Structure 1
Amino acid sequence: MTTPQQPYQGPSADDFLMGGVGAPSASFLTVGTTVSGRITERPTVQQQRDMKTGENKFWPDGNPMMQLVVTVQTDERDPSTFTDDDGRRRLFVKNQMKSAVADAVRATGARGLEVGGVLSITFTHELPPKQRGFNPIKQYSATYTPAAQAALHTPDPGTLASAPAPAPQQPASPAVPGLSPEQLQAALANPATAALLAQQQAQAAATPPPF
């Protein structure tokens, strides 16, 4: 899967200008959790950090441990935790999650993640840790919809707003020989007469035409 290989530069220019720190991280606390949304900015690659010390992480051979950072627009809102929560969430794609996302992208024939594409990641289950004292290993599944395909399935809000609402269909009034439309309307105002006319119409519809 092709991804932009560039160092992480911290918050975006807009976040820095407006005093923000970027979108909050997506959480996968329980099995079955799904985070899904349209990718809002170009994914970046950054070095992983130790959650306790904040130090950069390295493999035993000295190479940096990297991760993909993807920001998606979700339907989640948590104003009690995040001020002015707009629903954006950052996904830190690494380890088995990286493999799941790569498989999802390959399945579409795309060469990588792109702005406008829709990425969905689900926490499916856990595996026992390889060493005693370590946390269980989270497992994920993922689906991806390329930007062009996602755009085809997104209705244009302007079109929806300007489209006239369909006019409600009114039941057709029965035609009765010898009665004008005004007289028929007056007759239908009487429930008994209306029921009789409806019965006559039903009988007429059920009677086969003569040969």
Structure 2
Amino acid sequence: MTTPQQYQAPSADDFLMGGGVPSAKFPTIGHSVSGRITERPTVEQQRDYTTGDLKFWDDGKPQMQLVVTLATSERDPENPEDDGTRRLYVKGQMKNAVASAVRQAGARGLEVGGTLTVTYARDGQKTNPKFNAPKNFDAVYVAAAQNELHTPDPVAQPVAAPQPAAGIPSAVPGLTQEQLAAAMANPATAALLAQQQASGAVPQPATSDVPQF
């Protein structure tokens, strides 16, 4: 008979704060749990929901599950300290769905920084009248490296066009805007133009009082 895996004690923080990370819930068909993996996934033996006893297959082998910690957008309105962290217990048909998603992503396994999305897609075939039909899941995985490639760069803020300083003409007859801009880049030339404008040496662009039709 296979030796059962030892019980995995809670972390010091979980023990101190009186609880652990909430498990992901799938209350209805179509519900998804999605988030970035924040800790290296671990494998542990399953436990009976009612008694807490370790679970074994009929041949004595332990029933195992993969524990994945995700940073999700879910929040419990009754828990002001809920940061969205959820534990996903991958087993049964969900394990097959996640494994297929990892293969489709071209990855070798789940890794910190990757994004995993699991959806309660449909009910499976009910084989025991005492229990509900098993939940069937679909999964999508995006590897950490792929996440980095698709992380948008910060949006560049538009640079306002430089406005002419007070006393400096915005237009000079005989000079294009590019030539004027080049001339004003030189502080000495800009000061000279401002002085000439003040003395009336630089003619201003003509305006007309003739109405336009």
Normalized against structure 1, the TM-score is what? Answer: 0.69
What is the deviation of 1:98?
0.2
Q: Show the counterpart of 1:53.
A: 51
The structure with more radius of gyration: 2
**What whole-Å deviation, never above 9, does each CA across 1:152-175 have from its counterpart, x for those lacking one?**
21236xx45xx424659xxxxxxx
Conserved in 2, the CA contact under 8 Å of 1:119 and 1:142?
Answer: yes
Alpha-carbon distance change, 182 to 149 in structure 1, aligned in 2, over 3 angstroms = farther
Which letter does structure 2 place at the counterpart of 1:120? T
Which letter does structure 1 place at the counterpart of 2:96? S
**What whole-Å deviation, never above 9, does each CA across 1:15-68 have from its counterpart, x for those lacking one?**
45x625332111001000000000000001111111111111111111111100
Pick aligned residue for 1:43 from 41, 44, 49: 41
Which letter does structure 2 place at the counterpart of 1:37? G
Q: Show the counterpart of 1:94.
A: 91
Q: Show the counterpart of 1:152.
A: 149
Matched, 1:104 2:101: yes
Which letter does structure 2 place at the counterpart of 1:108? A
CA distance in 1, matches of 2:106, 2:6: 27
**What whole-Å deviation, never above 9, does each CA across 1:160-205 have from its counterpart, x for those lacking one?**
5xx424659xxxxxxxxxxx76847x99xxxxx7xxx6xx7xxxxx
- Gapped runs of 5+ residues in structure 2? 162-203
CA distance in 2, matches of 1:110, 1:8: 30
CA distance in 1, matches of 2:50, 2:69: 23
Which letter does structure 1 place at the counterpart of 2:141? Y
Pick aligned residue for 2:157 from 140, 161, 164: 164
CA distance in 2, matches of 1:123, 1:22: 24
- Gapped runs of 5+ residues in structure 1? 1-5, 169-179, 188-192, 201-211
Conserved in 2, the CA contact under 8 Å of 1:11 and 1:20?
Answer: no
**What whole-Å deviation, never above 9, does each CA across 1:90-143 have from its counterpart, x for those lacking one?**
100000000000000011221110000000000000023112222101100000
Conserved in 2, the CA contact under 8 Å of 1:7 and 1:44?
Answer: no
Runs of 4+ more than 2 Å apart: 6-16, 18-22, 163-168, 180-184
Q: Show the counterpart of 1:85.
A: 82
Alpha-carbon distance change, 22 to 152 in structure 1, aligned in 2, over 3 angstroms = farther
Matched, 1:21 2:19: yes
SS in 2 for 1:150: helix
CA distance in 2, matches of 1:46, 1:154: 33
- The alignment yields a C-alpha RMSD, in angstroms, of 2.7
SS in 1 for 2:66: strand
Conserved in 2, the CA contact under 8 Å of 1:8 and 1:44?
Answer: no
What is the deviation of 1:10?
3.7
Matched, 1:126 2:123: yes
CA distance in 2, matches of 1:148, 1:141: 22
Whose helix fraction is larger, Structure 1's or Structure 2's? 1
Identity of aligned residues (%): 57
